[in-house]
Amino acid sequence: MLKLLAGSYFIVITERECVGSYLGHPVYKVSSLKTFPCDHSLQSTPVEQKKLESEFTALLHVAEKTPGLYFSYDVNLTLSAQRLHDLGDESKLLPLWRQADPRFLWNNYMLEVFIDNKLDPYLLPLIQGSFQNFQSAIGKDILDVTLIARRCTRRIGTRMWRRGADPDGYVANFVETEQILQLNGYAASFLQVRGSIPFLWEQVVDLTYKPKFEILKQEEAPKVLERHFLDLRKKYGSVYSVDLVNKHGSEGRLSEKYAGAINHIAGDDVRYLHFDFHRICGHVHFERLSILYEQIEDFLKKNGYLLINDKGEKILEQCGVVRTNCIDCLDRTNVTQSMIGRKMLEAQLRKIGVFGEEETISTHANFDESFKVLWANHGDEISIQYSGTPALKGDFVRYGQRTIQGILNDGFNALARYYFNNFSDGTKQVALHIFLIYSLYFLFGVVLQICLIRKRLRLSGFDTLFFYFQKFSIKEILVTINTNLCS
């Protein structure tokens, strides 16, 4: 439930689809959202306020199309298997929303009025991300593999309208990915995270294909980065940061700043590795990611994964996490994370006794194909939420090799991203803020900035928000709205 300028609105899930189960509990994907007014106070409001209200309700209709929303009636999807297992008995008795990790609770603000009225039985945590699942037989064993992504709400936004970190260290496109294996009563879980380079930088849309990167308040980079990694260490333990951006050019300047800023906190608990993905792997030689794996293998073995036996006892736990980034944290990142996920799943299967010492996923054709599709769909869904298109390089994840069709698709999707960045993502950005971090300050701030823009651009009348963000999604509007309201 959200209250706008002149009235309140329910945002209701009207359709759902069961997409699998999380640790034995059904998971549902939201197929349709609808907005309904709760009262008729708008009828008695002044004409100008009605116009403003119509602009914001139009943005709610944009928010209705938010993709990749998931929920469960029985289990808290905001929590990883390890965190669920470690919940105390008292915590397990709490309503699901009170157990939730606020980083991933997508409907946090919309639940407030219901929480105030003690309607706990009706409140379900909602996440945005991805949920993929398959079952496959290897010999007599039936393996159930799940991949779940949780997108953080703390610095939410669209691709070029949300880059880098905020002053508190929260980064754009931060996603926690959990890979779960279940068979014969055993459960194994492995976590990875991705997120934008963690200091203040931006890439202002200006109609060029690749707007230049701008590092903001460079002197604050070490402090912002330290806050980011302190938060990661509290939540995940040791951190190995894998930076996949180019060593040279504009990306290289970001990477150089990253390496320099992280140097003063690097140690056993925080490690950093630069791996120039494009230079080493090129466009087709992604098998060279084995070079990267060799450098992080010891960290992965030391920090492990969660393993629960058929008695529900925790045999192993994950004590650290690999944090991967490229520029968008989509395409190169997903290829790399799928490789790490494959290696860890093989290690789990050897530990449980399903695989022999030299056996790999690729030994089993059907299982291998399902695993590739799992990660490809996962990458596409995350990419659509941030960039508006499926992931680039997805053909390698899906088929194990680059294809002509995949390269053509990459070209089309790259052009589509350019269009979305410049002509529609501004509207989506504001809709996300109303949907997720709504406040009256934000609403009135948007109105104020729109009035300033209208005056500066000598626009007559009060055109729609869509006009401003589609027609003028350039530096002037981004500076006046995105910087002032969304930082």
What is the per-residue pLDDT across 407-461, written as a single tens digit (0 to 9) for each? 888 888 888 887 887 777 777 777 777 777 654 445 555 555 555 444 544 444 3
Task: Report yes or no on 157 lying in a domain.
Answer: yes
* 434 inside domain: no
In a domain, 90, yes or no: yes
> How many C-beta atoms lie closer than 10 Å to residue 97's C-beta?
21
Element (H, E) at 270: strand 270-274
360 and 480, same domain (yes or no)? no
Number of domains the chain contains? 2
Q: From residue 63, give the alpha-carbon distance in Å to each of 66, 205, 243, 431.
A: 5, 22, 32, 6
Last residue of a domain, one of 405, 427, 449: 427
Distance CA 16, CA 441 (A): 33
Can you read off the two tokens belonging to residue 167? 């002053």
**pTM of the complete model:** 0.86
Shared domain check, 450 and 399:
no
What percent of the residues of the chain are helix, what percent strand, and what percent coil, each to the nearest 5? 45, 20, 35
Q: Does the residue 243 lie in any domain?
A: yes
Same domain? 423 vs 450: no
DSSP 390: P
In a domain, 433, yes or no: no
Mark which of 401, 427, 453 sits at the end of a domain: 427
Same domain for 275 and 422: yes
- Residues 353, 468, single domain; the answer is no
Same domain, yes or no: 310 and 352? yes
Encode 164-212 in three state secondary structure: CECCCCCECCCEEEEEEEEECCEEEEEEEEECCCCCCEECCCCCCCCCC
How far apart CA 378 and CA 368 sit, in angstroms, is 15
Q: Are residues 385 and 464 in the same domain?
A: no
Kindly state whether residue 432 falls inside one of the protein's structural domains: no
CB–CB of 273/259 below 8 Å? no
Single-letter residue type at 27 = V
Task: Confirm whether 193 is domain-assigned.
Answer: yes
69 lies in the same domain as 162: yes
CA distance 481 to 119: 36
Domain of 103, in residue numbers: 2-427
> Same structural domain for residues 125 and 273?
yes
Cα-based angle 387, 388, 392 (whole degrees, multiple of 5): 65
380 and 475 inside one domain: no
Task: Indicate whether 150 belongs to any domain.
Answer: yes
Q: How far apart are CA 422 and CA 420, in angstroms?
A: 6
Per-residue pLDDT of the chain (487 residues; tens, 9 = 90+): 777 766 778 888 999 999 999 999 999 999 998 888 887 666 666 776 667 677 777 777 777 788 899 999 999 999 999 999 998 777 778 888 889 999 999 988 888 888 888 888 888 899 999 999 999 999 899 999 999 999 999 898 888 888 999 999 999 999 999 999 999 999 999 999 999 999 999 888 777 878 888 999 888 999 999 999 999 999 999 999 999 999 998 899 999 999 999 998 999 999 999 999 999 998 888 899 999 999 999 999 999 999 999 999 999 999 999 999 999 999 999 999 999 999 999 999 999 999 999 999 999 999 999 999 999 999 999 999 988 888 888 777 787 777 888 888 888 888 888 788 777 777 777 777 777 765 444 555 555 555 544 454 444 433 334 344 444 433 444 444 444 444 4
Whether 161 and 196 map to the same domain: the answer is yes
Specify whether 334 is located in the same domain as 246: yes
26 contacts 70 by C-beta, under 8 angstroms: no
